[in-house]
Amino acid sequence: MTDRPDYVEIAPAKINLALHVRGRRADGRHDLETVFAFCTDGDKLTAALADDLSLTVTGPFAAMLDDGPGNLVHRAASALAAEARVGKGVRLTLDKRLPVASGIGGGSADAAAALRLLTRLWSIDPDIAARIAPTLGSDVPACLLSMTARGSGAGDELMLVDAGVADRPVLLVNPMQALSTREVFASWNGVDGGPLGEWRAGRNDLEPPARALVPAIGDVLDWLGAQEGVELARMSGSGATCFALFDSEEARDAAAAACPPRWWHMASSLR
């Protein structure tokens, strides 16, 4: 395995600065308005040339994932190879540092990292990866960009925006309780609370149903909101990870040091 840049890709953690659910779609998904932002840190995907395609998952959350064909990284690599008619193999290693099913991209970010990495490694037209991304999940197109963007439709219609958060210190905290995205959306009350304007004045419409399913989310948000230097604390995506934006790295680091040990946390900055 090598750490040459062409063989390594970070899968940045995703946060939703705001997330408005506007209604249910005929295809069973939901109409969303959101602003995606991305951390400088996340999972790490490494590649080595090989005769066939394989995936190994390591890291603190490896035990929660299958490394077979059902893994989104494996699916992304297989789809890209088939679409681009690549006859090469690759040995992929995913260092799984982010909690699974936690509202911060997870599998979508990993799949997007595989598309970016293999596009370089196999010298493929990036447009092919862009066509494959939405077939893997609604968040994969945003994660493929990994740039601040406004999402609409099912979250996969994207427009790059300047949300004023570049280099902003951020702390992610998860109460270490998995939460099913399907269950959270199924528990949404179906009420359209109105469009998303400026994200700071927005909300996360999935927070109430998520908190009902995992009350510890409320504990995390209360704790984050009480930390010195916090400018905003919100749940990301369908939870259970919450985030806080800080006015300085020092304030973020102090909060990270004080985070209860029963919770997972990651101190980072936004891209």
Same domain, 113 and 175: no
Q: Into how many domains does the chain fold?
A: 2
DSSP letters of 188-224? S---------SGGG--BTTHHHHHHH-THHHHHHHHH
| Backbone phi, psi, residue 16, to 5° | -100, 110
Asked if 57 contacts 67 with a C-beta cutoff of 8 angstroms, the reply is yes
pLDDT at 3: 56
pLDDT at 5: 59
Same domain, 204 and 123: no
Give the β-pairing of 149-152 and 157-160.
antiparallel
Same domain, 153 and 22: yes
Q: Domain boundary at 131, 159, 187, which?
A: 159
Catalytic residue among 14, 44, 67, 110: 14
* CATH code of 204's domain: 3.30.70.890
CA distances (Å), origin 186, targets 10, 22, 24, 30? 32, 14, 10, 10
Same domain, 39 and 152: yes
Angle 262-264-265 from CA coordinates, rounded to 5°: 130
Residue 96 catalytic? no
Q: Domain boundary at 136, 159, 182, which?
A: 159
Asked if 46 contacts 227 with a C-beta cutoff of 8 angstroms, the reply is no
Q: Domain boundary at 103, 137, 159, which?
A: 159
Same domain, 130 and 232: no
Same domain, 190 and 151: no
What whole-number distance in Å separates Cα of residue 180 and Cα of residue 103? 9
pLDDT at 2: 47
Same domain, 117 and 182: no
Same domain, 52 and 133: yes
* CATH code of 32's domain: 3.30.230.10
Q: Which domain holds residue 27?
A: 5-159
Same domain, 109 and 140: yes
Do the domain assignments include residue 164?
no
Whole-structure pTM value: 0.94
- Closest among 141, 104, 146 to 234, alpha carbons compared: 104
Catalytic residue among 66, 139, 156, 247: 139
Same domain, 144 and 190: no
Do the domain assignments include residue 200?
yes
pLDDT along the chain (271 residues), means of 10: 72 98 91 98 96 96 92 97 93 96 93 98 96 95 98 94 98 94 94 97 98 98 98 97 98 98 98 96
